[in-house]
Structure 1
Amino acid sequence: MDLALLRTFVTVHRAGSFTRAAALLGLSQPAVTAQIRTLERQLGRPLFLRQARGVTPTGIGDELAHKAAPHLDALVEIAETGLDEESSLRTLHLAGPPEFTAERALPALAELAGDDGQGFALRASFGNAEEVLEGLAAGHHDLAITTARPRGALLTATALCDEEHVLIAAPRWAARIGPGKLRRKGAPVLKDCPVVEVHESLPLVARYWASVFDCLPSTSGTVIVPDLRAVLSCATAGAGLAVLPRYLCADAVARGDVVALHEPAVPPLRTYFLAVRTGTLAMPHISRAHDWLLRAASGWG
């Protein structure tokens, strides 16, 4: 069986679209379609069901992808790193949310990269859960850190850690709200307070309100900035309330730059997952980084 046809097939399977696969492969969409049809004729079975938006693999298509993809990935790895036995350095491509990746994952992996000739070169990129999982499935990344557990058998995910969320504000806002008032009266106390968030939908604030106050926030974002570190800076400057991971704001709380407004008995948690393409943990550099992150995460409070 032609490996080029298999490579095109796996790319279509991961991308879910002939058009997206063509862009990833640097081919025209008709060329991709022709290659898939050739492979289907050779196998005597349809591999995809064509739909208005993209394609869905058939049962045999899924089975072939799960068997072939790990071996194709291994061949690509060999091609990228060369056959020189003296060259043991591999490149690990990591993707995840910017704040968690920068503050947690990269410092941990930096200890491992290049270590005693057994490590790896490290390349990192940032994105939201959908972006990093799509990139992982398409073969752009080796490891993905995400808050969404991937579905299906193409990707394998392991729970990495939980992060606790904290409602914080600058001291002047804390003084205006008053000590104990929020605990006694709940969310209505905060209805006139401005909010700093990463998106107009207020994902962290809405999750906190639903978990702690059993309601949705009645305010809109005053400052929207797509990085939690910038959210902390704005909250510290007095722009409004914010919900942040405890690890990200713990030092600012300790210094008194911001105040934790509420300490619920059961704090809201968000789970991070470490995802790989199924079968790629057979590659030593990916397996080593995967295990190292899991061990490091056991010490993250």
Structure 2
Amino acid sequence: MDLALLRTFVAVHRAGSFTRAAVLLGLSQPAVTSQIRTLERQLGRPLFHRRARGVTPTAIGDELAHKAAPHLDALLRITEAEQDAAGEMRTLHLAGPPEFLSLRVLPALAPLIGRGHSLRTTFRTGAEETLDGLAAGHHDLVVTTAQPRGELFSATALCDEEHVLVAAPYWAAFVDPERLRAEGPAAFDGIPLVEVHESLPLVTRYWAAVFDTVPDARLPAATVVVPDLRAVLECVRAGAGLAVLPRYLCREALDSGRIVALPEPAVPPLRTWFLVVRAGSLALAHLARAHDSLLHAAVRW
């Protein structure tokens, strides 16, 4: 059986689409379609059900994919090892939120630069857009808080991020601890709000986890909206209002007293970060090395 046909078949099986597989393989869609039809003729069985949106594997297709994919990945690892031994420069394309990439991911990957790696980074705040770019082959590895499903992606939990409700000392002085215990977020009435989006995603998640409620009309619309958590932190430090921030981002400001954590719940709200790659791509040596480096670094985060 032709290995090129099997490689195309596994790519389609993982991608769930002839079009998407063609992009990843660097082929035209008609070429991918032709190769799958050739393989189906050789086997005498259909491998995919054609749908309005992509394809789904038949039982025979699933069986063949689970048998063939590990061996194709192993062949790719052998090829990659030879290229790695030859000292070829490999470029890793990353994508994810600007704050987490800037403060966590890129510093952790910096030691790889001296080992034949180069990095290219794309800042993406939306998980769907980021994963679409990964599926289309624009990125090799993405960092996101959305855990994807399906055959196309492989996701590994990286770390948990604790969220903290913070404000400058001036605004924190307006929060009555007794009222906070009795009335919950009503104690924040009249305090301005800083957020990354008009929909208040971080505040809404925090309110649900800590106060078992959602922000109501008494909480003002965000006074400052800026799509970068580092800018949110600087606004809070300057006295613009309260905000929900990851603890790693604001730890120094908290320790110095420039900002104050308002309630300190017994069980802090957590958000999990995932490393996501296309299925099978960890056979690429430079990608596997970066993946492992991030997992080891995250132990110290």
Q: Same fold (TM over 0.5)?
A: yes
- 2:204 paired residue among 203, 206, 221: 206
Cα offset for 1:229?
1.6
Give the corresponding residue for 2:156.
Answer: 158
Cα offset for 1:138?
4.3
Q: In 1, Cα distance between the equivalents of 2:65 and 2:226?
A: 39
Cα offset for 1:22?
5.0
Q: 1:1-32: per-residue Cα shift (whole Å, max 9, x none)?
A: 55555555445444433444556666665554
Cα offset for 1:267?
0.6
Give the corresponding residue for 1:122.
Answer: 119
- 2:213 paired residue among 215, 221, 225: 215
Aligned-pair RMSD on alpha carbons?
3.4
Contact (CA 8 Å) 1:49, 1:57: kept in 2 or not?
yes
Map 1:69-88 to 2 at 5 A. Answer: 71=72, 75=76, 86-88=86-88
Give the corresponding residue for 1:195.
Answer: 193
Contact (CA 8 Å) 1:93, 1:143: kept in 2 or not?
yes
Q: In 1, Cα distance between the equivalents of 2:286 and 2:300?
A: 22
Q: In 1, Cα distance between the equivalents of 2:122 and 2:74?
A: 20
Q: In 2, Cα distance between the equivalents of 1:149 and 1:213?
A: 25
Contact (CA 8 Å) 1:93, 1:124: kept in 2 or not?
yes
Change beyond 3 A, Cα 1:38–1:299: same
Cα offset for 1:238?
3.5
Aligned residue for 2:166, secondary structure, equals strand
State the AA in 1 paired with 2:253: A
Contact (CA 8 Å) 2:74, 2:283: kept in 1 or not?
no
Q: In 2, Cα distance between the equivalents of 1:70 and 1:173?
A: 61
Change beyond 3 A, Cα 1:171–1:8: same
Give the corresponding residue for 2:175.
Answer: 177
Question: How many residues were matched structurally?
Answer: 296
Q: Unmatched 5+ residue regions in structure 1?
A: none
Aligned residue for 1:177, secondary structure, equals coil
Q: Structure 1: which 4+ aligned runs deviate by more than 6 Å?
A: none
Q: 1:119-139: per-residue Cα shift (whole Å, max 9, x none)?
A: 522233333333343444444
Q: In 1, Cα distance between the equivalents of 2:198 and 2:12?
A: 33
Query: TM-score, normalising length from structure 2?
Result: 0.80
State the AA in 1 paired with 2:195: E
Give the corresponding residue for 1:144.
Answer: 142
Contact (CA 8 Å) 1:46, 1:58: kept in 2 or not?
yes
Give the corresponding residue for 2:37.
Answer: 37
Q: Unmatched 5+ residue regions in structure 2?
A: none
Contact (CA 8 Å) 2:20, 2:135: kept in 1 or not?
no
Give the corresponding residue for 1:53.
Answer: 53
Q: In 2, Cα distance between the equivalents of 1:291 and 1:166?
A: 29
Q: In 1, Cα distance between the equivalents of 2:290 and 2:56?
A: 32
